[in-house]
Chains A and B, each alone.
Chain A
Amino acid sequence: MKMNSKTGQVGNAVESRYWRSIGESMGEVEHPEWSDREFPEGASELPEDFSRRDFLKLMGASAGLAGAGMLGVGCRRPEELIVPFGAETSEGIHGQEYVHGVPMYFATAMPTRTGAIPLLAESNEGRPTKVSGNADCPASKGAANGFAYASILNLYDPDRARTYFKNGKEMSKADAVEQLKSLAQSEGRTAFLMPSANSPSRDRMIGLIKDRMGDRVEFYVHEAIDFGIHARAASKAFEQSITPVWKFEKAEVILSLDCDFMGTEEDSGLYTCDFTKNRKLASADDSMNRLYSVEGLLTQTGANADHRLRANASRIGAVAVYIASKLGVLSDANSQKLIQDLTQEQKHWIDACLEDFEANKGKGLVVAGYRQPEEVHILVHHINGILGNNGNTVEFIPVATEQFGTLKDLSEDLGKYDRVVNLGCNPIYDGGVDIGSKAIVDKTEFRLTYFKKDESHSSLGKPSTRLCINAPLAHYLESWGDARANDGTIVSIQPLIAPLFDAMSELEVLSIYASVNPDTYQSAYDIVKDTFSGDSWEHYLHQGYQEGSKSTPVTDLELSQEIPSIAYSTIPSKSVEVVFTRDYSVDDGRFANNGWCQEVPDPITKITWDNVMSVSRKTAEKLGLEHGKKAKLTVQGKSIEAPVWVQPGMSDNTVSLPLGYGREGDLRIANFEYEKRPLINNNFFGAKVIDVGGFNFYKLRSSGRNLDFGEIENTGEDYPLSSTQEHWSMEGRPIVREATLEEFRKSEKKRAKELGKEEYNEKHFFPDNLGLGSHARNEGEIYEHPYQERPTLKSDVNQWGMSIDLNSCMGCNDCVIACQSENNIPIVGKEQVANGREMHWLRIDRYYTGRNHNPKEKDSDGLPLIKKIKDQGQNGDDVQHAEEWIDDPQVVNMPMSCVHCENAPCESVCPVNATVHDDEGLNVMAYNRCVGTRYCSNNCAWKVRRFNYFDYNKRPLENLYESPLTKPALFLDWLSDREKPSKKEDEWDLLELAKNPQVSVRMRGVMEKCDYCSSRIQAAKINKKVKAGTGGDVMIKDADLKTACQSACSADAITFGNLLDKDSRVVEEKNNPRTYETLDFLDNGARTTYLAKVRNPNPKMPDSYEKPFSTKEYKATEGGHGDDHGAHKGHGHSHKEDNH
């Protein structure tokens, strides 16, 4: 905002605690008059010629006033100049001017452990409401991830620390800063404990502190999930301080060794973006990369691999050694011993895979994941070296040489220090069982903490034990900072809002320590500005990154000759290997108190609000574990009871332990509890309180260890799990359609040859709708097409459509969270998810398909291969987890939201005209008109409509079943104010701020669903009209509009646009030969179509396949008279012609 930067009025005007009205914040002097009057001028009396414009102005002002009443959470803009995103002209930067009611955008970045995700944050009336990737930033190409999209909710977390306190007493920030200053000046040795970051300013501050304090200070970095392994291993392998940057877009063949680069690795968004660039097939000539994955858990990367080899996580090293030995690197005795443990099948698999790599020298890429030990990473650098990949598909950029100690080091060195300053770590929770975290906490004298009452609270809050200053930690959207992104580009972290609770940032604390005279310490803003070395500060802020700051890749790469040997380990008999992993939903626990993250289903298990111990079917059978029931896991003498989940695709004898759950502080989402009410659950034997925090596997983990061994035994105790998708199989239905690359190419060549011939069916190689496509079309339409009925209703300017590329979609859920953030979608809590009432407008369906999943096939004993045990699984489903085909499945993902049918079945059954068609092809919901018969949902074949069974927005999730009838207090509340929410006030105030004002918030009893981001469409149309002026150029082009999911998709799998714009990408995609419509035989005319998935198997691989498993299943299904119907299809096609 160019808020009177020349006059400098901004600072003065905004010094008041609350941001009161637009005029005021703009430095105009209107308010003295207002403060005398009870209402703003015109509020009570309407002037003669009162126009609509006046009215809106007035409303705007009143809304501003209303904001002032907010309970201690006033929104203020940051005091310093912040630069909004907008056009840049020769005259300088023209940030977007503030217009009330129109959102503004600012470039900023979310810091991560090894860098940052460049973002564009949307601000409405001074409060950030949404973030998306900064597409202009070359370091990320617009890629971000779900954590970034969800981080907005962390800003408004009601459990955030709100006050400074010491010795149980609250104090002001000024007092706390004074005390910190004296702490900084006092004698004695100080240890800093910090989370990992990659920030030039922070590095500079650390340098300054070291200069000032010399050996009286030491810095330790603690991260429960350590991504520093990549830099450490590369630095060791090449004997220089470098870190690898993978270039998936350049790789033709990729081998992932337990590396979940599309999911749990840092920068997964960017890597997904790069990886999927080579999977957007449009013609037979297009090339496509091939992904091999060797892993123990089923990860998102493995789920999307063309070939996947199940191997224990502890045996990945042996796989790497085998490859290396094949390439002639290793041949020592230890290696031979390791290799011996591999099975023949595994060896064949690797051999064939390696052949592919040797044929693609310099175009291959082998990556190892963070869970693997350093030795494996070093070996992988050697393998890449031999295969000619280093410098081509993997680049190395320099990193700061500074190496910090770990938490374990601090724990060992603790005696050397007089005090610890903790800049945001929570070792009590995630430190690990071998760390004396309590001792560290006891020595802490200053602590930044994000949560009011997290795990450390009990030890810190007691007045007798500690005199630690507790300071609230600022969110990145409220603090100044900078960071180096993936390729070294320096990105700015620009606040959008002054700290809500006067919170402090890490840089502020460091600056107090860095200043020789602490009274003149620098503000974070000044630190970042001083660190900045580019030409234009404003330009930097405006763009969000410093141009040309990208690190030059190191070309002088020489591998160290010394290859550390990989320790031989084998799973002890009767034991299982346990793998600690970063959770897809809550990271290492930092997002555990974020409702969106808790409720987003795990991309693999589809479980919400919980973590589970995933095991393979065989392991469960062997060890007597039961799906969905608790088992006791003992690792190194510590044990925990947690539910077991039989996960398809897991390697045998492996248990995955996602970290980040089971928090013990007073956190309302992370420790969300609900009462199982007898009234509702027919649990007549008394109410039972269910703890929904998940399970804390840190209690089994030694610091920094990702692999361990343990014993597991069934306890048989039930545990309720809430999964959003009960059924795993596609039942042979052609919902996700697939083909192999070979099939695709063949068909495309045939198509080119036969194009124009009458009988030819252009999509014949993808499974058709079980032969229905040809029949149904002849029957005529079930519903009258509204546009055929009255063609004049159809807009000839814009017609919306969407295309989703299933070959690019990796099922990461980022779009789900972006949609939730954009459209004010409430969370419903674990109990309601279990009841099947999650509200996500957009969901990702995940199906498993099995090589042997053929209902008719018999095994050697003549028994059906699929065991059908009825009515025993969760929610009455078949016992799919006992079926053999799940052992080594293929996985498909399918984002599913309203497909905006032209002959929408929902519309014709709504008795009150609440869901109707608009002239641009949207199937829209008039929430105000909806009475909630739910008929539309029943008639929707895609089941994408979501009903507000309760007032999720206003009512506390744990009390959804309370009403004025069961709780007299609520009745009195209701009498006094019928609009009053029963959510806790602190929560309500903050959650209100997170809402997108462009989208209405729905009440109970109302149906809702995806509306293709109608609000964005309207905004784009208005903008376009304003721009067009009297000209007629009002057609929306690709550049004018993106839906929230589309802009969130790092893989660029979602394309939305104007079907009437012939140059639009969506039109291009709809002409792609892979395009198909789900359930097309219903003739609903879906506006969202899909691009079929194409797999790229290597025919030389032992596990190669001619057709995707789903195609086989489809053919095996009784209804799918697929092949013999091929002949009829031409017939169906020609009839279709007749109809026109």
Chain B
Amino acid sequence: MSKPFAIMAEYETPAETMAAAKKVHGEGYQKWDVHSPFPIHGMDEVMGLDNAKVGWFTFFGGGDWFYNGYGHDLFHEQI
């Protein structure tokens, strides 16, 4: 009998999904995920996920834009 590759469970409602996720997280599993057709509020917390990194990408992207747009004028000698 081979080792199972993964275990999948399906739930009817978001609440049940969340309860299951809470349990899985509580068990200390690392490589697992929840799939849903819409974002379930509170799931991040239940799964123990921290803040997304998107904000940093956005911030540095904005910084790049600012530098390109104004930085030449502000930080460099005028041509």
Tell me, yes or no, whether A and B come into direct contact in the complex with CB atoms closer than 8 A. no
